[in-house]
Amino acid sequence: MSIEEEISREIGELKERINEYDRRIEETTNRINKSLAERDKLHARMREIKEKVKLLKEEKSRLIEENRLLRRDVRELRQKLLNYIIEKKQLKGELKNLRLSMDVNRIKKRLDEIDLYLASHRVSREEERKLFEEASRLEAMLVDYEKALKIHLSLNELSPQMEQVRDELEEKRKRLEEASSRINQISAELEMLNNTYDNLKNEADRHHSEYLEVRNERDRLEAERILAASRIYELYRLLRGKREEILKRRISEVKAKKKKEAIEKLERGEKLEFEEMKILLEDETLWQSSGGASSS
């Protein structure tokens, strides 16, 4: 196999290799684009989750503060209700200790009778003493009745106040329960979102690693393609040089042959053609030799 054929064969192989490089570069580019698209899509979902996590954390912080205030209110209302209960129990105890064997009207009627009797009758000291003792006892009972009346009024006032505190306490407890439930719900949702985020991040990292790996492979293929193309360029230059060298050699051989024929014709005294004369004129050494021969 000639050098030209060897060079042509190598150029053909390199072109086939470049075509294979182009195919693989296109394939790796598609894989790169796919990995980047998947990674970017996952990153978009991760950003959505981060924003949702941020909002949930803000809501949770607000609910925790609300929860703290509600717990404080519940403690205060519970203590207030307990104070009312203690006060009510004390009032009922006081009411129980009062002497209320007769009703008020009977007491007042009997006091009037005693006053009238003392005013209209002459009584002995002993009888007067007994009547005054009875009146004092009855007046003490009236004081107890007044105390009982005040206690009843206080109890009547306590009942709506206690009911109001109970309603407020129930409302606070309900809000506290709802806030606590929402906090637990947010905590569970945050855990789920964080797990989802971690899974997405792992998948996004995998796609990014795949992108870097394929990009390096494409860079290697492009570098090898450049080397192959450079080698083809060098081979074409070498082939062109060989062809020019062969052409020059062939031209030189043709000229040598024609020059020989022209010299032979010249020696025979035949007329030379223009091209033959031109070939002989290009050979200065020939004319110098011929000129020297003529002068001698």
pLDDT, tens digit, 9 for 90 and up, residues 73-130: 999 999 998 888 888 887 777 766 665 555 766 777 777 887 787 778 777 888 878 8
Euclidean distance between CA atoms 86 and 158, whole angstroms: 11
**What are the strands, taking DSSP E only, across 35-131?**
none
Give residue limits of the domains in the chain: 3-253
pLDDT, residue 284, reads 55
| Tokens of residue 85, six digits | 């209960």
Radius of gyration, alpha carbons of the chain: 63
Annotate 66-94 with DSSP letters as a single string: HHHHHHHHHHHHHHHHHHHHHHHHHHHHH
The answer on pLDDT for 46 being more than 50 is yes
For Cα atoms 280, 282, 283, give the angle at the middle one, nearest 5 degrees: 70
Name the CA dihedral angle for 26, 27, 31, 37, rounded to a multiple of 10 degrees. 40
C-beta atoms surrounding 42 within 10 Å: 20
Q: What is the mean pLDDT of the chain?
A: 84
The answer to whether the predicted template modeling score (pTM) of the entire model surpasses 0.85 is: no
- Range 3-253: architecture per CATH: Orthogonal Bundle (1.10)
Residue among 276, 53, 73 at smallest CA distance from 176:
73
Determine the pLDDT at residue 296: 31
- Is 235:10 a contact under the CB 8 Å cutoff? yes
Q: Cα–chain-centroid distance for residue 170? A: 39
Exposure on the CB side of residue 124, measured as CA atoms within 13 A? 2
